[in-house]
């Protein structure tokens, strides 16, 4: 049975799932959260248990295997609950939405929250960085040899979820993939999968993301070769 969790801007329609680890994946720079979310749905064969609705959402439906589905869905499998969005949540909805999510988590005694984000770097060193919302969360991340981001701003759902979880004494972490530019980066997302497996004791397979990355890189290489073979356009002064 789906239960409503309602605030001024949005409503969660979802089944209750107790004692779960909650994951949040939404589009951002590099689409890390969204790419990871879809991999989790496929790899873990997650069941859709609800969705979030708001009159402030863009007029959008997502086509999945030919079926139109809600653009912000909630999935469950193996003690994990995933909040997965296929659009950037409008800033005026973020505060109310995070309150709804954290209220749902508090009611269901959720163990922790893990959200995904990215950081643009000049050169990749293969490390996934992290941040937490408490000393205990940061200590756990440090024990995993993850670099901790000491300063900076964390906007959108990721940042607000960390602070709202802290108000309910729920440990929350954010994992940051390294990216070189703002374009979708499945290879960077695959690196986060390895860290997530260590955190959760899961065996999620990142290979589909690596294959996707190889296909993207191959297409870009062909495009670059095509451009190089084209006659130069005249420059007008």
Instruction: Report residue 217 as tokens.
Output: 């890189």
Measured CA to CA, the distance from residue 170 to residue 110 in angstroms comes to 8
DSSP one-letter string for 81-104:
EEEEESSPPPHHHHHHHHHHHHHH
pLDDT for 182-224, tens place per residue? 888 888 899 999 999 999 999 999 888 888 777 766 655 665 5
In the chain, domain spans? 3-227
Look up the CATH architecture of domain 3-227. 3-Layer(aba) Sandwich (3.40)
Q: Do the Cβ atoms of 74 and 108 come closer than 8 Å?
A: no
Measured CA to CA, the distance from residue 82 to residue 18 in angstroms comes to 13
Residue 153 confidence class, pLDDT cut points 50, 70, 90:
confident
Q: What is the DSSP letter of 31?
A: G
The label of the residue with tokens 């959108």 reads 156
At residue 106, the 3 state secondary structure works out as helix
Supply φ then ψ for residue 90, to 5 degrees.
-60, 140
The answer on pLDDT for 97 being more than 80 is yes
The answer on pLDDT for 64 being more than 90 is no
Q: Do the Cβ atoms of 80 and 23 come closer than 8 Å?
A: yes
Measured CA to CA, the distance from residue 211 to residue 232 in angstroms comes to 33
């Amino acid at each position: 049975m789906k239960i409503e969790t309602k605030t001024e801007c949005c409503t969660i329609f979802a089944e209750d799932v107790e004692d779960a680890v909650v994951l949040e994946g939404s589009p951002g720079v590099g689409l890390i959260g969204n790419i990871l979310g879809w991999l989790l749905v496929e790899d873990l064969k997650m069941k859709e248990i609800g969705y979030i609705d708001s009159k402030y959402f863009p007029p959008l439906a997502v086509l999945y295997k030919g079926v139109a589905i809600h653009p912000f869905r909630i999935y469950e499998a193996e003690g994990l609950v995933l909040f997965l969005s296929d659009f950037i949540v409008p800033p005026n909805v973020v505060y109310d939405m995070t309150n709804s999510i954290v209220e749902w988590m508090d009611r269901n005694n959720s163990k922790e929250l893990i959200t995904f984000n990215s950081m643009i770097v000049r050169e990749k060193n293969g490390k996934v960085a992290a941040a937490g919302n408490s000393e205990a969360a940061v200590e756990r991340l440090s024990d995993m040899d993850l670099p901790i981001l000491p300063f900076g701003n964390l906007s959108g759902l990721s940042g607000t979820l960390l602070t709202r979880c802290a108000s309910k004494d729920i440990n929350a972490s954010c994992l940051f993939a390294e990216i070189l530019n703002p374009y979708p980066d499945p290879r960077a997302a695959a690196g986060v999968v390895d860290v997530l497996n260590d955190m959760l004791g899961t065996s999620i397979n990142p290979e589909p993301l690596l294959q996707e990355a190889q296909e993207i890189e191959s297409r870009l290489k062909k495009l670059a070769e095509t451009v190089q073979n084209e006659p130069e356009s005249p420059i007008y002064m």
